[in-house]
């Protein structure tokens, strides 16, 4: 008599667990944003081209994906976190946010405004290939909190491996965007080199 009831509970339990399980798919931010901001500020100082790219004051563009609430939330948190850091790559800095329109517009904006770092929030999964191609020969460090974006063409990202934060770099795209990271920081990263 208790068997059918037990099966029913088991089915309910499985359904609840599947509902609560965190998806492992794209656009998942796995490293706390505040830690990402600190790591970004440090990694920027290992880019041999950062000071030439930035000039006297480093410009950071934080890009949301339209009205995607998670993208807006992550970008807002990153902007707040960066504002607490006195220097990025040894330079004073300003942050501005923008909503993504097209990859070509993003590349043009980065060139025209001398953006040194462009941070792409979640929600850009379908746009990464176009952004990667548009940023070729644009002197900018592209960054995302979504680990999967790095393998697909963002220069720098963050992941968790064995419970510890891990830096990711797409070295081929870094070269295309004139980002020249020193060997000592590359040794600490998972490197994708298409």
3 part of a folded domain: no
64-94 pLDDT, tens per residue?
998 899 999 999 999 999 999 999 999 999 9
Residue 158: φ, ψ to 5°: -140, 140
Helix (H) or strand (E) holding 150: helix 147-152
Give the full edge-to-edge strand order of the sheet including 164-170: 93-99, 58-64, 117-120, 141-144, 156-161, 164-170, 189-192
Tell me the residue range of the domain where 129 lies: 26-192
Tokens of residue 124, six digits: 């850009």
- pTM here is 0.85
Number of domains in the chain: 1
Q: How far is CA 76 from the centre of its chain?
A: 13
132-176 pLDDT, tens per residue?
999 999 999 999 999 999 999 999 999 998 989 999 999 999 999
Task: Say which CATH number the domain at 41 has.
Answer: 3.40.50.2300
115 part of a folded domain: yes
């Amino acid at each position: 008599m208790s068997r059918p009831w037990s099966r029913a509970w088991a089915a309910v339990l499985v359904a609840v667990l599947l509902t609560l399980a965190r998806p492992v798919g794209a656009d998942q931010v796995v490293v706390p944003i505040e830690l990402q901001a600190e790591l970004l500020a440090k990694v920027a100082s290992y880019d041999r081209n950062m000071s030439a790219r930035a000039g006297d004051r480093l410009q950071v563009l934080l890009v949301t994906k339209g009205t995607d609430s998670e993208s807006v939330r992550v970008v807002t948190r990153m902007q707040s976190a960066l504002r607490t850091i006195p220097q990025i790559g040894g330079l004073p800095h300003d942050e501005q946010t923008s909503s993504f329109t097209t990859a070509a517009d993003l590349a043009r904006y980065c060139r025209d405004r001398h953006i040194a770092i462009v941070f792409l929030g979640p929600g850009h999964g379908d746009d990464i290939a176009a952004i990667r191609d548009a940023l070729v020969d644009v002197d900018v460090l592209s960054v995302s909190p979504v680990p999967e974006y790095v393998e697909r063409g963002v220069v720098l990202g963050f992941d968790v491996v064995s419970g510890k934060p891990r830096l990711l770099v797409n070295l081929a795209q870094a070269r295309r965007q004139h980002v020249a990271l020193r060997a000592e920081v590359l040794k600490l990263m998972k490197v994708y080199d298409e």
